[in-house]
Structure 1
Amino acid sequence: MNLSEFSLRRPVFAVVLNIVIVVFGLIGYKFLGVRDYPALDPPNINVRTSYPGANAEIIETQITEPLEKAINGIAGIRNITSQSSQGSSSITVEFELGTPLEEAANDVRDKVSQATRSLPTDLEAPPVVSKADASSDPVMIILLQSNMRNALEITEFANNNLVERIQTIQGISGVNIWGEKKYAMRIWFDPARLSAYNLSPRDVQNALLRENVELPAGKLAGDATDLGIRTFGKLNTEEEFNKLIVKNVNGADVILRDVGEAVLGPENEESVLKESNIPMIAMAIIPQPGTNYISIADEVQKRLTEIRADLPADIRMEISYDQTQNIRKSINEVKETLVVAFVLVVLIVYLFFRDWLIAIRPLIDIPVSLIGAFFIMYLFGYTINVLTLLAIVLATGLVVDD
């Protein structure tokens, strides 16, 4: 006895089974991720190294080449590309398709760790190894502009008032700020004065490392109380930096103001974002893998409505990119296609059988089958995207045919 015969003999069982399929399908649909295309992580590993102050030639000979030689011995590598630029090195390792990405990343980390001993000793940080992530592209980009504030002030406002409020939305992995400008103390040297005092920028750097510190000083313990001791050695203002003692020459202190000037400004001036000569920054919203992009976008829109009520008058905020617009269009097109398919199926079946009861049956069979498919998609880790929606449309014809 097959399932069809058993269902005909026991109609109650068939009804209950259909209800169970629909319930589980709706549960699966609720937890399904929604994005534009399937999340296919390419088998690529990236190695980034920062070496401020070094030119591209030094970066290539002292960092990029030693790392490439160490990485080249890993099995399964298809291609290695590298880029050496002012102050940074980037190496992309492409593995053969089917290579486990986590194992490949661990192999690269091991080789990079072994090669670190041959790199310059004054690197600010060791090389960073990261995996390619299909979910690292932003789902939305929000622009902030002001004709009364510079990029430093806009960045500070965004970090203090906006990033945390947006990042707490469920499904968001992080908020990256593009074009951000962080406050830093910039030191400008006068080469003639440095030469006159027989000093170099390295001497000033050593003085900063020596003087601009805050060390633990222990505590004072008494019979009744214990007091912690704190030393205040950090330099904060331009005046404090300009009074920094660089060196003692013939009994006289040479301070920073004698050989240059400390000015509070942006940490990086190599790039800037502007529109119509008005400074701006961009907040890129990065989703978590497997999340519902449409739910994230809807919640961000609600949160931005609340934020706009508290925005200063000089700051303009707008959404410049929304990936979910194309996703919504695709879903709406599929809905329209399914409606047309339902109508055509009913009409065609009626024209052939001349029986409305038989013609209406596909209106029950098709939704039950499609809704039940959502639970299977959830079990196998699929998402609702352009390809799965296309499969649903094609499956409609198969259901009717069967």
Structure 2
Amino acid sequence: MVHRIIEWSLKNRFIVLVMATALFAWGIFAVKKNPIDAIPDLSENQVIVFTEWMGRGPQLIEDQITYPLVTNLQGLPKIKYVRGSSMFGMSFIYVIFNDDVDIYWARERVLERLSTVSTTLPTGVTPQLGPDGTGVGHILWYTLDAPNMDLGEQRALQDWYVKFALQNVEGVSEIASFGGFQKQYQITVDPNKLLYYRLSVPEVINAIRTNNNESGGRKFELSDIGYIIKTSGYLKSVEEIENIPVKNQNSIPIRVADVASVQMTGETRLGIFDQDGEGERVGGIVVMRYGENADAVIDKVKAKMEEVAKGLPKGVKFDIVYDRGELIKESVQSIKNTLIEEMIVVSIVVIIFLFHWRSALSIIIQIPITLAASFILLDTFGISSNIMSLTGIALAIGVIVDNGIIMSENAYKHLAERYALWEKQQKS
């Protein structure tokens, strides 16, 4: 079979050259299309289910949330195993699927199962899927450099403006905010006053909840003009909460301020984000979507940041603290320089040792064609151009050249033997 291929190639050298040129052009196209990253993604094919039930201990979370979810999710098709983790107020379920399963098909199966499992969970508890990213999806971290704003205002700016703008970038799965204070109204009930007024905590909660609402009425016409009736009852200040009536006793309203103190403060924090020892900062983490090109997504996020920066308050700007794009560019450039240097050195060595330009050319021309074919395979199997894959290609250049030298020497040996035999026949 090999002899026939060699014989056909020798007889159809033009066709072989055309096929080699087409293969090289296909490889150049694959190089431009192949996703670029610095770190190979070796994470498992998983779907994360996150459930929050604040104020409950890990054992209660394990018994009433984690265990029911794990046992019900184990019956999904094409899964390897299901892991569960319980902590204070939160439950994490990791559903690991087979490597050949499409991640979005897997997320759909998990969502289908969660729609039936949710009925067995405590009231008010709703499981939700984590972002469709991987363990190496954190491609960019940034903070807000806002010296004239307090941490609460910075976090509000991040959550209600910057986050929504950057989430629209193609290839971004999530913008995870960190740092600062999440503003909230906190109501501290005095148990002695509740006892005095014969009230309960649920009555206070229900009064506040029902007064923080907006409802609509009907439409009526007056002088051939239609009017729509609605009420706007959303709470907007501490004073409005304090004046909410909880109950009437002897025609006297008992307000929230009579049984509790109301204040604007931040949500309880478990940690802080300090940058370079210069104080707290507020920022976000850009999480890349599964299977996207990290280098392209980072460029799009930076372009969007320039657009978003125009709408920031005066004196506020972005400060990028981690950028994988720089690492990607440096890594790829380093490997690219190494490949070029190896090709030049190998070409010189082949020319010097063979000292026959046609033989050397047949070996040297294999290097770019083989490299192009390697990128075709990388693109076909969905492998990104990263440090490991490009380093493997660089190491394989020696094998490519060795194979070419062996084939050239073998051909030269047989040609020399045939030429000696021909000279002998001519003399005889």
| TM exceeding 0.5 | yes
Cα distance, 1:223–1:398 mapped onto 2, change above 3 Å: farther
Shift of 1:389: 1.0
Secondary structure of 1:54's aligned partner:
coil
Amino acid at match of 1:117: T
Unaligned runs of 5+ in 2: 405-428
Greater CA drift, 155-164 or 386-395 = 155-164
Q: Which residue of 2 aligns with 1:264?
A: 264
Change (3 A) 1:33 1:233: same
Cα deviation code 1:316-369 (max 9, x no counterpart)? 532211223443343233223222321232232223321234334444331122
Contact 1:35 1:327 (C-alpha < 8 Å) held by counterparts: yes
Change (3 A) 1:100 1:315: closer
Corresponding position of 1:397? 398
> Deviations for 1:1-35, whole angstroms, at most 9, x for unmatched residues?
95655554455434433332233222222221112
Change beyond 3 A, Cα 1:4–1:223: farther
Q: Contact 1:179/1:282 (CA < 8 Å) preserved in 2?
A: yes
Specify which of 82, 85, 94 is matched with residue 85 of structure 2: 82
**Is the 2:176–2:286 contact (alpha carbons within 8 Å) kept by the matching residues of 1?**
yes
Distance 2:116 2:365 in 1: 63
TM-score computed with the length of structure 1 as normaliser: 0.83
Aligned to 2:409: none
**Residues in 2 aligned to 1:171 and 1:78: alpha-carbon distance in whole angstroms:** 28
Residues 56 and 10 of structure 1, relative CA distance in 2, 3 Å threshold: closer
Give the structure 2 partner of residue 319 of structure 1. Answer: 320
Q: CA 1:263–1:343 in 2, change beyond 3 Å: closer, same or farther?
A: same
Output one character per residue of 1:252-292: Cα deviation in whole Å (capped at 9) or x when no partner. Answer: 21111111233233345444333446331122112233333
Could you report, residue by residue, the CA deviation over 1:356-392 in whole angstroms, capped at 9, with x for unpaired residues?
Answer: 3433444433112212432332233221122321332
Which range moves more in the overlay, 250-259 or 147-156? 147-156
Aligned residues: percent identity? 25
Q: Encode CA deviations 1:35-54: one digit per residue, 9 max, x unaligned.
A: 23443452544332222343
| Structure 1 range deviating more: 382-391 or 89-98 | 89-98
CA deviations 1:184-236 (Å, max 9, x no partner) are: 32222223322322223321111122222112323225784443322212222
2:331 maps to 330
Cα drift, residue 300 of structure 1: 4.2
CA positional deviation for 1:102: 6.5
TM-score when normalising by structure 2: 0.78
Residue identity in the other structure for 1:266? G
Aligned residue among 30, 35, 38 for 1:36: 38
SS of 1:236's equivalent in the other structure is coil
Map of 1:142 onto structure 2: 142
Give the structure 2 partner of residue 234 of structure 1: 234
Asked if the contact 1:347–1:359 (Cα under 8 Å) also holds between the matched residues in 2, the reply is no
Matches within 5 A, 1:162-181: 162-179=162-179, 181=181
Any idea what SS the aligned residue of 2:213 has?
A: coil
C-alpha contact (below 8 Å) 2:213/2:233 kept by paired residues: yes
Q: Do 2:70 and 2:84's aligned partners in 1 also have CA atoms closer than 8 Å? A: no
Aligned to 2:218: 218
**SS of structure 1 residue aligned to 2:280:** strand
In the other structure, the counterpart of 2:359 is 358
Q: Distance in 1 between matches of 2:189 and 2:360?
A: 86
Inter-partner Cα distance in structure 2 for 1:101 and 1:239: 49
| Residue identity in the other structure for 2:176 | N
Number of residue-to-residue matches in the alignment: 399
Contact 1:41 1:132 in 2 (8 A): no
Structure 2 matches for 1:84-123, cutoff 5 A? Answer: 84-85=87-88, 87-93=89-95, 109=111, 112-121=114-123, 123=124
Cα distance between partner residues in 1 of 2:127 and 2:306: 41
- AA aligned to 1:84 is M
2:407 aligned residue? none
State which structure, 1 or 2, has the greater radius of gyration over its C-alpha atoms.
2
RMSD, matched Cα:
3.5
Identify the residue that residue 156 of structure 1 maps to in structure 2: 156
CA distance in 2, matches of 1:368, 1:330: 23
Change (3 A) 1:314 1:192: farther
Residue range with higher mean Cα deviation, 204-213 or 35-44: 35-44
Equivalent of residue 56 in structure 2, options 48, 54, 57: 54
Comparing 255-264 and 165-174, the one that deviates more: 165-174
Contact kept? 2:35, 2:295, Cα under 8 Å: no
Secondary structure of the 1:155 match is helix
1:244 Cα deviation from its structure 2 partner: 0.7
**Cα distance in structure 2, aligned partners of 1:304 and 1:281:** 16
Match of 2:291 in 1: 290
SS of the aligned residue for 1:202 comes to helix
Task: Say if 1:135 and 1:286, in contact at 8 Å, map to a contact too.
Answer: no
Distance 1:5 1:180, change over 3 A: farther
**Taking structure 1 as reference, are residues 200 and 52 closer, same or farther at Cα in structure 2, changes over 3 Å only?**
farther
